[in-house]
Amino acid sequence: MRELSPKKKKFMDFIDQYNAEHGFAPTFNEIMEALDIKSPGTVNWYVQELEQAGLLKRTRGFNKKRALEVVHQQVENTLPLLGQIAAGYPLEEFENREEIEVPTAWIHPQNYVLKVKGNSMTDDNIQDGDFVIIRKTATADAGDTVVAFVNNEATLKRYVPKNNHVELHPRNPKFNIIHVDPEDEFRIDGIVLYVFRKYSTRKL
């Protein structure tokens, strides 16, 4: 739901709660009494404002005085799927932006999704073909699993800063630690928040 002023939210919440409890909408007089509004014109102003915002509608019931209904908007629970990431390979970005369904708790403007390619992080239960939700950030704490770029190649590894260099640790003994020297181009693009698999994607 879009951002509302406290008074508009209170107005809409009252109508929604009244509908839920009684099975029909309140009249203007009942709204005025409940919300301490002094005139029907003020109620009508709220109704018009919320109608224009797409958050309230007048239904075609037999009693036009009880014809207000809150429009419950469906929460979009997808994030952009930007590409595939693997150990020691360039980030393979998808040409066409795709959306992938994720748990609602992980929806955030700074979050995005990558598909994992390879098995360098299997000890952290990140397997080939999994999806990882990334929070875009240029900083990380020691031990975070990060999306890192080393000399323009992306990798998914544990971030281990040292006194004069950085190490990127795999979580599979078959893979080597990546040593990032001061002369290397290095940046962090995000940290891993969540791992999931077997989710269907849109527009595939």
Active site residue ranges: 120, 157
Cα distance between residue 98 and residue 185, in whole Å: 29
Task: Show the tokens assigned to 11.
Answer: 């107005």
User: Distance of CA 27 to CAs 9, 16, 63, 139, Å?
Assistant: 18, 13, 10, 54
> Which residues in 70-91 are b (16+ Cβ under 10 Å) and which e?
beeeeeeeebebbbbbbbeeeb
Q: Which residue from 145, 191, 133, 203 is spatially nearest to 170, judged by alpha carbons?
A: 145
Strand order in the sheet with 201-202: 178-180, 166-169, 153-161, 145-150, 186-196, 131-136, 111-117, 78-86, 92-101, 201-202
